[in-house]
Amino acid sequence: MAGTSWTKWRALAVRRNASGIARDANGPRSSHKMFMGRRLQSTAAEVTPKAGGWGTYSLVGGCLLSGLVGYQLASNTKSEDVKRNAADSPKFRSPEDFRKAIDELKATFPSEGAVSTNPDDLQAHGFSAANTYHKGVPHSVVVYPLSTEDVVKIVKIANKFLMPIVAYSGATSLEGQFIGRQGGGICVDVSGMDKIIAIHESDSDIVCQPGAGWMDINETLKEKGIPLFFPIDPAPSATVGEMLSTGCSGTNAVRYGTAKGEWFLNATIVLPSGEVIKTRQRSRKSSAGFDVTKLFIGAEGTLGIVTELTIRLAPVLPTTVAIAQFPDVRKATEAVEEILNKGVGIQCIELCDAAFMDATNLYGPSARKYAVTDHLFFKFQGPTQTSLKETARIVQEVVKKHGGGKWMQAKDEEEAADMWNDRKNAHYTGIMYGGQGCKGIATDVCVPVSKLPDLVYETQKDIENSGLKGPIVGHAGDGNFHSLLLVKNEEEMAVARDVVHRMVERAIALDGTCTGEHGVGIGKRDYLYEELGEGTVGLMKTIKNAIDPKGLFNPGKLYPDPKPSKRD
């Protein structure tokens, strides 16, 4: 994969120089980014009948009657042939047409590295080291646009040859959102569109391209001495474009929420027709119609490709970290419920089960050792050190009330960062816990906070009975948790899939969701009928069919099959 990474970044660098596009003047980017992501017009002829006698009126009346009958028949038709279209059964052209499309892409983007059919690139963009749960599929071609205009050109060629498109940026998605399609397609890699276009410190917002990483944005703000940050914190190399597309979140969700419309003030989108829209202005709020930005949040690239965003920023406040030990998950989550209702300055509340703490003792980044039992990791936030101390005091009292044991609190910023690092490295620590040759299946669900103890307890028992190892880490403050199921062969993979299925079924039965922050992709789409209902899924498909009638954008993702089979 190292060769692939070098090929990709060399291609982007060569193309930047060839195009005369300078690096972002707003500050350097860090090197931690991983290489893993027409306007609808309905016109009708206006008919103005001439004045006439009864014959004319009879003719008009007959036409009206025929029209009404036809309308009624169409309205009452419930067959899948009418409903499916773009969402369920898009029609694409032949491999020969796809080869012509690739030739036209190469002619349109002649710069070295702008268009790639290198097998390593195709493989890397259709597979992911972070995604071992879903089998990857390579794309036919990868294109590296650097602007909105580039994306428009790609989309128009895709329309001409009816060739599907999959957008790609940070490649941190876990449910197969960016894998290729059997039969081929175009991968549009926007990771090179990573510029910070403008920083509006007084308005607490920033304008950037979709390939900008959230950590890079925060680094740039810090380097410039701007006391603001973008608080949504998913995987370290996640980009803001994919964050919008999946509606993701991270450890800060209990304080700052998820990647929803409150954080994305507007977005520039290339629609499947090639038309470019901007969803709204930059003002902090607007009641000018419904919020079009939200239409694209969580759509996973099936409705449009994001090429520019305005995102809100939050003030950087003092923080500190504490860790509390609990005898079981029920007591820990009971403490969480009371803490949330206290209204104190909580930025994060993370649940780490006994298996995870065992893994941390063996492979964690710090030298700290923990009791092998359930723990809560807290991050407190407030305007002053005094407020932090008061928050910590209140939380510690609640922890003690609910049976909490050992309490560890950071003495300074360095120790706080070290303690929190044990939590932030959960995925890598968990993978090592499985031993050499192990793969991890990471999945998530979310339920009302009061239901979290039941869900975690039943899932822990299920994992134990399955014979697998599976550390659990949860965003306890919003009822969301992740299970990392560790497998070494296809037999264990099949067992893990069954565990995931039962976990999802439990979550939905508890009035929860099949995915709290990972999105749907191909992994969770067949649960949408059960969770959302046929009417809501039907509305989603109606929107898809209206905006993307040819079904070109990310086919096979998000929208469930017409009648998915229900497992036992």
User: How many Å separate Cα 132 from the centre of its chain?
Assistant: 17
Residues 246 and 181 both lie in one domain: no
- Pairwise CA distance, residues 474 & 349, whole Å: 9
| Three-class secondary structure of residue 521 per DSSP | coil
Residues 266 and 329 occupy one common structural domain: no
Q: Is residue 556 situated within a structural domain? A: no
- As a whole number of angstroms, the distance between CA 119 and CA 1 comes to 12
Domain count, the chain: 4
Question: Residues 6 or more apart from 449 whose CB is under 8 A from it?
Answer: 333, 336, 337, 340, 476, 477, 478, 479
Q: Could you give the 3-state DSSP secondary structure of residue 74?
A: helix
Interatomic CA distance for residues 130 and 324, integer angstroms? 30
Q: CA-to-CA distance for 463 and 217, rounded, in angstroms?
A: 38
**pLDDT tens, N- to C-terminus, the chain (568 residues):** 444 444 444 455 445 444 443 334 344 333 334 333 333 333 333 333 333 443 433 433 444 334 433 433 344 334 444 344 677 878 899 999 999 999 999 999 999 999 999 999 999 999 876 666 788 899 999 999 999 999 999 999 999 999 999 999 988 888 888 989 889 999 999 999 999 999 999 999 999 999 999 999 999 999 999 999 999 999 889 999 999 999 999 999 999 999 998 999 999 999 999 999 999 999 999 999 999 999 999 999 999 999 999 999 999 999 999 999 999 999 999 999 999 999 999 999 999 999 999 999 999 998 999 999 999 999 999 999 999 999 999 999 999 999 999 999 999 999 999 999 999 999 889 999 999 889 889 999 999 999 999 999 999 999 999 999 999 999 999 999 999 999 999 999 999 999 999 999 999 999 999 999 999 998 999 999 999 999 999 999 999 999 999 999 999 999 998 866 666 5
> In this structure, are 126 and 6 located in the same domain?
yes
Asked whether residue 294 falls in the same domain as residue 340, the answer is no
Domain that holds residue 470: 436-547
Helices 354-363 & 426-433 angle (0-180, nearest 10): 90
Pair (213, 302) in one structural domain: yes
**At which of 405, 429, 453 does a domain end?**
429
The answer to whether position 415 is within a domain reads yes
Please indicate, yes or no, whether residues 140 and 277 belong to a single structural domain of this protein: no
Name the domain boundary from 164, 191, 218.
191
CB-count burial class (<10 Å; 0-12, 13-18, 19+) for 74: exposed
Q: Which residue has the tokens 């969402």?
A: 87
Alpha carbon distance 316, 155 (integer Å): 40
Q: Are residues 230 and 358 in the same domain?
A: no
Residues 179 and 209 in one domain: no
Instruction: For residues 469 and 487, give the distance between their C-alpha atoms in angstroms, rounded to a whole number.
Output: 8
- Judge if 399 and 466 occupy the same domain: no
- Do 402 and 277 lie in one domain? The reply is no
CATH number of the domain residue 121 falls in: 3.30.43.10
* Distance in angstroms (rounded) separating the CA atoms of residues 348 and 376: 10
Determine, yes or no, domain membership for 62.
no
Does some domain include residue 29?
no
Same domain (yes/no): 111, 186? yes
Q: Same domain for 284 and 385?
A: no
